[in-house]
Amino acid sequence: MTLNRRDQILKYIVEHFIKTAQPVGSQTLIEEYHLPYSSATIRNEMNALEQIGLLEKTHSSSGRVPSSEGYRFYCEYLRDKEVSEDLKYNLQKVLDEKTRSIEEVIKESCEILSHMTSLASVVLGPNAKEEHLASIQLIPLGPRSATVVFVTDRGYVENKTFVIPNEMSMEEVAKCMKMFSDRLIGTPVSELVIKMEALRPIVNDYVIGHDVVYKTLLETFLRFASDRLLLYGKKELLNQPEFLDDADKIRKMINLLDSPENLIDVEKNSERDYKEGNITIHIGNSNEEYPDVSIVTTKIRVGDEQEGTIALVGPTRMDYDKVMSALEYFAKELSKYYGNDKGGNNT
């Protein structure tokens, strides 16, 4: 499909700006892309594009820079949708390692994605709410201390070491734990805390000094509910030119990346986001808290339950084409390998 002149010019501007991080002028455009028009013509088109709100100027006589809308338009209509062979090759290499668990595959893939896009990648773990408690194990460490290990049916593990009060024997702790275990296994993680509440009076009759056990379990269950967040490629991201000389921007970005809440906030504010297939693109916007940050996300599914979100985070000036294609490719390949058979692989 060939583009009309105006769109073609917009495309060039977006791509050139993505590459150089410099506002693009009419002259540059002609030289770089050998356009068969005079600079005046280009300027007219640029002006028109600015009127529609797809381009912006940094000051009255500067070159043009894409607006959020401009990027959005680019994503929707102009991008090439090509996945680089390099990326395919690198991802495939990771995916082909059969005995790797999905977590490891995701980790390594994210490192590759980060590296190839110079963005940070964030893995937002599956919300444990949908998982069920599969096992509670008490492991005595010494006469007065023990560790409890909790495993969900999707292999997520939490643990907690605690001190056994003098008035309780290890046997009693074990008995108490068994009691909880019998009543809690199979419970969805989201209901654990409520169910504990109900168990409180019952366990009261069983064991004296049970409250340590009770409290230990409760605290750990609360941890289940918190988001599991992994972050890769921070270094790559901070070497982008927008951060080269701007300490404030760096601090702000670190803030964003270090506290999941913020990221989730940005992501939630999504009425204006552009969706394409499984990919959602949030393009930073001047009336937001992080105006110059864009986030491209995709849901990762393994088996038939939702398994988590992968996001690539960076400046609004990011290579949307590359990022979207890469993420789409990755999500597709991943589901091909870890598809609808609940975690089994398809050898």
Partner DNA sequence: GTTAGCACTCCAAGAAAAAGAGTGCCAAAG
Partner DNA sequence: CTTTGGCACTCTTTTTCTTGGAGTGCTAAC
CB-nearer residue toward DNA: 61 or 287: 61
CB-nearer residue toward a second copy: 76 or 305: 305
Chain Cα centroid distance, residue 226: 15
Binding footprint of DNA, residue count (CB under 7 A): 26
DSSP 8-class letter at 19: H
**Paired tokens of 246:** 């701007």
Binding mask 240-269 for a second copy (x = CB under 8 A): ---xxxxx--xx--xx--x-----------
Whether the CB-CB separation of 300 and 334 falls below 8 Å is answered with yes
Nearest to 316 by CA among 13, 8, 17: 17
Burial (0-12, 13-18, 19+ Cβ within 10 Å), 300: buried
From 10-18, 55-63, 140-148, 199-207, give the range in contact with a second copy by CB under 8 A: 140-148
Q: How far apart are CA 314 and CA 115, in angstroms?
A: 13
Q: Which of 7, 32, 33, 39 binds DNA (CB under 7 A)?
A: 39
Q: How far apart are CA 296 and CA 306, in angstroms?
A: 18
Q: By CB under 8 A, is residue 306 in contact with a second copy?
A: no
Q: How far apart are CA 232 and CA 120, in angstroms?
A: 6
- Minimal distance, residue 48 CB to DNA, in Å: 10
- Minimal distance, residue 144 CB to a second copy, in Å: 4
Sheet containing 145-152: which strands, arranged edge to edge?
133-142, 145-152, 157-163
Q: How far apart are CA 168 and CA 207, in angstroms?
A: 9
Q: Which of 153, 191, 273, 288 binds a second copy (CB under 8 A)?
A: 153
**List of E strands, 116-226:** 120-124, 133-142, 145-152, 157-163
- Minimal distance, residue 61 CB to DNA, in Å: 3
CB-nearer residue toward a second copy: 151 or 199: 151
**Paired tokens of 282:** 């949030």
Q: Which of 19, 38, 155, 165 binds DNA (CB under 7 A)?
A: 38
**Paired tokens of 304:** 């038939």
Q: Which of 23, 70, 308, 315 binds DNA (CB under 7 A)?
A: 23
Q: By CB under 8 A, is residue 161 in contact with a second copy?
A: yes
Q: By CB under 7 A, is residue 62 in contact with DNA?
A: yes
Query: Residue type at 176?
Result: C
**List of E strands, 81-144:** 120-124, 133-142
CB-nearer residue toward DNA: 36 or 142: 36
- Minimal distance, residue 58 CB to DNA, in Å: 7
Burial (0-12, 13-18, 19+ Cβ within 10 Å), 297: buried
CB-nearer residue toward a second copy: 139 or 194: 139
Q: Which does 246 bind (CB under 5 to 8 A by kind): DNA, a second copy, none?
A: a second copy
Q: How far apart are CA 40 and CA 48, in angstroms?
A: 12
Whether the CB-CB separation of 42 and 98 falls below 8 Å is answered with no
- Minimal distance, residue 241 CB to DNA, in Å: 13
CB-nearer residue toward DNA: 60 or 347: 60
CB-nearer residue toward DNA: 38 or 145: 38
Site of interaction with a second copy (CB under 8 A): 98-99, 101-103, 134-135, 137, 139, 141-147, 149, 151, 153-155, 157, 159-163, 165-166, 212, 215-216, 234-235, 238-239, 243-247, 250-251, 254-255, 258, 341-345, 347
Site of interaction with DNA (CB under 7 A): 5, 22-28, 36-41, 43-44, 46-47, 50, 57, 59-64
